[in-house]
Structures are given as C-alpha cells and as structure tokens.
Amino acid sequence: MLTVLLVTFPFFALVLAGYVAARRRWLPLESIGGLNGFVLFFALPCMLFRFGAATPLALLLDVGLFVTYVLCALVIVGFVVATSLNRRIGWNDAAFGALVAAFPNTGFMGVPLLVALMGPKAAGPAIVTIVADLLVTSSLCIALSRLDGADEHGAARAARNALKGVAINPMPWAIVLGVLASATQLRLPGPVMQTVGLLADAASPVALFTIGAVLARSQIVAAAGRHAAMPLADYVPVALVKLVLHPVLVGLVGLAAINLGVPLDTFSLTVIVLVAALPSASNVSMLAERFGADTGRVARIILLSTAAAFLTFSGAVALLR
C-alpha cells in the first residue's frame, strides 16, 4: 500500500496545489478557463494521440471491453437517477448527479496515473473508456437533463446537441488519429513529433493542477449563489456510488463476461475497474453550469470524490495488484 501511495501522492498533490492556488486567489479565477483550454485543446490531445499511436490496434478496438464498460455506466446512471429524483432534485440535477457518478476523470487524471502505475499498456483500455463516456454516458445524461418540463423532442434535441459537443471536442479526434497512426504504422516527422511530445509531457501536471483550480472555482461560484445548507444526503451517497459501487460493478460484470466467453483479458479488466475507481470528472461542473443544473451539488460530489479517492483509489490499486 505504501508503494502505491508513493506513486499516487504526486498526482493528488498537484490537484491540491491547484485548489489552494485558486482558493487563495494566487491564480485568478478568470485565468482558469485559459488553463483548461490549453489542456483540452493542446496538451491532452497530444498525450492521447501519442498513447494511441503507440498502442496495438487490437487494444483500442476491444468491443468486449467497450460493451462491458458501457453497460455498467448505464446501470450507474439509471440507479443514481432513480434514487435521486425527489421534490428538491428534478431531472436536470438528477441527470448531472448521475453523470458525475458514472463519468471518471480519465482524461485529465486517469491515463497518466494508470500508465505510471501499470505501464504504457494501460493506456489502451483507458482510452476505450474515454470514448465510451464521451459518446454514450455524457450524451445520455444531457438528454435526461432536458426532461424537466420538456417533451420527448426536447430530450432528443439535447442528445443531438450533446453529440455535436462530442464532434467539436478534440479528445475523440486525437484518439481517432492515434488509432489511424497505430493501424498504418505512421510516424510523424521528427520536429513535429518532438512538438507533440513537449505538449504531451505538459498534459499531466497542468491537467492535475487545473482540476484543483476548477474544483475551487466551482465551489466559490456555488457558494456565492446559494444560501441554504445542502443536506449531506444530496451528494455524499453519489460520491460513494462513484468510488465504491461503480468499480465493484465493473469488476463483477467483467468477471461474468469472461466466464461467459467474452474475449476480455484480466489486465484490461483491471484497468477499467481502476478507471471506474477514479474520482468524478471535474469538467462536469462546467457542463452542469451551462445547462442550469445545481453546480453546488455537482461541485461537492466532485470535490468529495477527489479528496476521498486518494485513499480509496490507492486501496483499489493495492487490492487489485
């Protein structure tokens, strides 16, 4: 366990550094969007392209892994929505609560962390889960969020808008280009690859620092717009679903799939279980703000899951290794 903590500590320490910097206003809140833009449009796509290009094509096109992961995500979304809906929490808030329960922080945190823990081979299964969450989980939850006072056409329109959002997101395109490079054995010219490498190397530290800053900003914004104390029951159970139920479900469904003859190897299953054990994706708070959901609730879930994941994720790694 101590060995695992020595690996995971720097990752969570960088998140804490970003959080403290934003809370103390050493980092102006207005600059966080620029940091996020650098990671999203430059550094992270280069990192995903580099990992994708270096990963065997069979690992990136693992249908059994994709279906197993998506099935678990759908179960988590359905469970959280069903248990969250009440007089205070409508479809919009329940849907975004479900999204943070089923959408791990794989891009900003998971890929570099899992590669550090398990080697470059872990990048392939982790990238598959990113595609699943971008295409299926986020689109479904955004569509569900529109059911508050909307007809079926409103939900369908929201789903189409979600897919448009995926189309302009550089991460899927970076993954696609990485897959093509892997399939064709394409090698970029030396100076271009060095540029890609420099940006890719910057992705992990800047992304982790940005996670903390985004969490702090979400908390500050939510506190400024909310006066009544939020019941613990509105966000603690969702964080527990993310950190405990999600990885357990993925592990059980994955083992059942292997027993049924699905070609899913144990290494890939271990990777996606650890992906599910990651804290909630920090960018969901910005998405919730755009769609008018309760950003205070979403920010609390993300913050609690991120803080607790230092122990729960490290424990999961120690247990599975």
Is residue 2 pLDDT above 80, yes or no?
no
Characterise 189 by phi-psi region: left (phi > 0), alpha (psi -120 to 50), beta (else).
Answer: beta
- What is each CA distance from 157 to 24, 154, 169, 288, in whole angstroms? 40, 5, 18, 17
Q: Is the pLDDT of residue 143 over 60?
A: yes
Backbone φ, ψ for residue 280 (5° rounding): -65, 150
pLDDT at 157 over 80: no
Residue 71 is predicted with a pLDDT of 97
- What secondary structure letter does DSSP report for 234? G
d(CA 102, CA 247): 10
Tell me the pTM: 0.85
Task: Report the percentage of the chain scoring pLDDT > 70.
Answer: 91
* CA dihedral sign, ordered 50, 113, 96, 316: positive
**Tens digits of residue pLDDT in 223-244:** 776 555 678 888 899 999 999 9
Q: How much is the average pLDDT of 10-15?
A: 90
> What pLDDT is attached to residue 8?
87
Q: Is the pLDDT of residue 128 over 80?
A: yes
What's the rounded mean pLDDT across residues 10-23? 92
Distances (CA, A) of 268 to 59, 168, 193: 9, 29, 28
Straight-line distance from the first to the last Cα atom of the chain, in angstroms, rounded to the nearest whole number: 10
**Tell me, what's the pLDDT at 17?**
94
pLDDT above 80: residue 87:
yes
CA 137 to CA 159: how far, in whole Å?
11
Domains plus CATH for the chain? 2-320 (1.20.1530.20)
Contacts of 62 (CB under 8 A, 6+ apart): 124, 125, 128, 264, 268
* 93: Cα separation from own chain's centroid: 18
CA dist 18 and 211 (Å) reads 7
170-221 confidence digits (pLDDT tens): 877 888 888 888 788 888 888 988 999 999 999 889 988 988 898 888 778 7
Residue 227 has a pLDDT of 52
User: Cβ distance 145 to 92 under 8 Å?
Assistant: yes
Alpha-carbon span 121 to 200, nearest angstrom: 17
**Hey, which residues does 104 pair with through a beta bridge?**
280
Query: Which CA distances in Å does 18 have to 23, 29, 90, 99?
Result: 9, 11, 32, 23
Tens-place pLDDT, residues 264-306: 999 999 999 999 999 998 878 777 877 888 888 888 899 899 9
Element (H, E) at 293: none
Output helix, strand, coil percentages for the chain, rounded to the nearest 5: 80, 0, 15
Report CA torsion sign: 84, 317, 122, 197. Answer: positive
